[in-house]
Structure formats: structure tokens, C-alpha cells
Amino acid sequence: MKTKFFTTFVFLTLAALSAGCAGMKPAEPTQEFSSHRFPAGQYTQKVDNFLFILDASSSMGKDDGQNIKTAKNVIDAINQSLPADLTFNAGLRSFGHNFKQSWNLTDQVYGMTHYTRNGLQEGLSSVNYTGGTSPLPEALEAAGKDLRGMQGKSAIIIVSDGLVQSEMSGAAATLAKIKADMGNNLCTYTIAVGSAPAGENFLHEVAKADGCGFSETAASLAAPGQLESFVNRVFLDRKAVAVAAAVPILVAEPRDGDADADGVLDSRDRCPDTPQGEIVDEYGCTLKLTLHINFDFDKSDIKPEFAPDLRKAGDFILKNKDVPYILIAGFTDSTGEENYNQGLSERRAGAIRQYLIDNFDIDPNRLVARGNGESNPVTDNSSEAGRAQNRRVEVICCAIILPAI
């Protein structure tokens, strides 16, 4: 009896396993992509800044890491395709993470900085482990800070399997907040890796929430000519090609002027009505940088979490050498005596000024530190959250600095 029972048990077990294996979908192979080298000199850039967000969560490491390998391959192929003569600002942010990679929910592994093909490739190569949850909303919130203060058009490209939705569910709402801040200067695109329809649908909804981006799958970009089309649609505009007329017609060429007197010829001026006296960038648009660095109560110590913002400020100041000065304005909340707060605001502004000098070798004469005490709060001081926002230093470009009173 026992022998018969055991034989029956083994048979049923093997049958169940066979049925389960027969119903399993084989793992998707790692996908390869053909980069397309767009020739230099034939394109202009559609965006000024771009930021990849790479999913490094545990689901991306399944099946011997096929999804993370595919994700890195598609980013690398895009990187290899961009024309070398264009001047983007670029970054790469990862999220998820095995503890061997990072203890953080999200890390900026490259940029935001002047784009180089080797720089982005090194950042991509530094992501070697997958693990943990899928905190896409936190990565998007950090991306908004990465892009804050950047000039011109920006693109976010999310490369993910779109799993697990319960951990990613706030992504669309977070993106909507960033979009409200940046408006038409931001478009978001998604690339779905793997073969999970639920993940593809989720990423499609994220891209659709942006209003100007679109979604793709890695499988579709592996088809001939599709990665080239993606790069062209997201990053590039082709220069107009002059066509010779069949019969030469002599027409007097219009003289290139500078109608708004900002130093940029009208043919290149993207902001033709800039108010007189404002400092402009190479395209004739008002040059701006506004960063808020917050402080703990009654402190002037710079918190480590603001290092990326200060890196952004340092890079901006070094890049724009024609800007004669940058205003560093310190503020406090309304707690305490007015005279004490004035001194505290000055110490905070001075700390930021010295940090920029020490870490970026910036000419001290270009940095003007001012303490404003508890004046000009950005929000109500009646709550702790409001007071925390008012304890700040603003790094501002390019304002007219009036003489100190």
C-alpha cells in the first residue's frame, strides 16, 4: 500500500512540474541595438538637457539580469548615436539598488554636466548590481531637482520594466508636479524592457501624463532603423539644406541686425524681445539660475543633500564667465530676534559663498553674499514646514545687485 501511494505521489508531482514548465514563457534574451552615428554638422539639438533614469531594482535582475543588460545596451546605443558636435547637458540617475551598489533609493551616477560620450558611458558602466524596490516616484522627484535651473528644453528618458506598479504608482503625479514647474520646457519618454504587458502599459501611461513625450519598447527599438528614429525624434532637428534654383535670381540679402540690442544677432536670437540690460545666453534668452539651499534651525552648516545643487551652481558660474557677479542671498524664518536673524542669514550666505570658492575655484569677486534676515519669506512662518522652507540661501543669476544699505 505504501509503495503504491509513493508511486502515485511521485507521478502526480512530476506531472504538475511538467505542466508548469510547459506553461512558462521563456526568458527574453538580452537585446542588442545598432547605434546610428549621425554625422556632425548636419543637425541641431532639439533639447539642451537630457537625463536618463535607469531602473536597477530587483525585477530588472531576474533571469540572469537580462532586463538590466538590455536597458544598459539601449542607453549605450543612444549614447553612441548622438552627434559629437552638439553641446548638451546630460545626466544619468539610477533607482532601486542592491546594497552592493548603493544604500540610497536613487543615485545620480553621472551629471548633470556638459555631455561627453565617454562620461555617460562611464556612469552607465558604474551600475553593476540590481536589487531592492522600485522607487520611480522618488527618482523622478530627484530628477526634477537635477533639472531645476537648467536653461532651455529638457528631456527625461525612463528605461525600466515598469514593475512593480504598487511601488511606482505615484510616478505620474510626481511627473505632473515637475511638468507644472517646467512647463513646455520638459518632455518625458519611456522605454519598456522585458515582455510584461502590465509594465509596458504602466510606462505608456507615465509618458502620456507628460503631454508631449511618448513610450517605446526596447524590442521595437532593436528593429532596423528604429533606434535611429527614436534618437532623431527626441534629440535632434535636421538643418535645412539650401536647394539651388533652376534660374539664378539676384536678391539683395537682408542685413543681419540686433533689434533688441542684446548682443545676439537676430538670425540666432530665440528671444527677440529681451528687455534692455538683461544678461543673455548664446541664443539671446535671459540667463537665469535660481537655487534654494535650505538649513536646519539656527544652523549655517551646509547639508550633504544639497551637494548636487551646489555642483549645478558651480558648473553654471564657471561656464558663464561673462556674468560679472552672482548674488548669494541668505534668509531665516521668523523665530528669534531680528538682529540675531540678520547675522544668521549673513553666516548662511557666507557659508555658501565660501563653499563655491573652495570647491570650484571661482573668483571671489564674482560672488556677492547678502544677508536678508527674516524678510521675504517664500511661505507662511506659522508652520514648521513653512519655517523650514524659509531657512534658506538663494543662489541667483542674473539680477541687478543694488548697493547695500
Question: How confident is the model over 263-308, as pLDDT tens digits?
Answer: 677 777 777 776 665 666 666 676 667 778 999 999 999 999 999 8
Name, of 4-8, 127-131, 281-285, the range with top average pLDDT. 127-131
Distance CA 314, CA 298 (A): 26
Higher pLDDT, 402 or 179: 179
Q: What distances in angstroms separate CA 307 from CA 146, 150, 208, 312, 359, one per listed residue? A: 11, 16, 32, 9, 11
Range(s) of the chain covered by CATH 3.30.1330.60: 289-397
Is the confidence at residue 204, as pLDDT, over 50? Answer: yes
Amino acid identity of 70?
T
Is the confidence at residue 211, as pLDDT, over 90? Answer: no
CATH code, 43-238: 3.40.50.410
* Average predicted confidence (pLDDT) for the chain: 82
CB 317 within 8 A of CB 353: no
Burial call 20-34: b when 16+ CB within 10 Å, e when fewer? eeeeeeeebebbebe
Higher pLDDT, 239 or 24: 239
Distance CA 52, CA 257 (A): 39
Angle of helix 226-235 relative to helix 62-81, nearest 10 degrees? 60
Distance CA 362, CA 98 (A): 37
CA 128 to mean position of chain CA atoms: 21
pLDDT in tens, 12-49: 343 333 433 333 344 557 788 888 888 778 888 889 99
Q: Cell 531645476 belongs to which residue?
A: 148
CATH code, 289-397: 3.30.1330.60
pLDDT in tens, 57-93: 999 998 888 999 999 999 999 999 998 888 999 999 9
C-alpha grid cell, residue 370:
547678502
Give 93's Cβ-side CA count (13 Å radius): 28
Distance CA 242, CA 79 (A): 29
Q: What angle do CA 190, 194, 60 make, to 5 degrees?
A: 90
Question: Which of the residue ranges 10-24, 46-60, 197-211, 232-246 would you say has the lowest mean pLDDT?
Answer: 10-24
Amino acid identity of 213?
G
Distance CA 381, CA 15 (A): 69
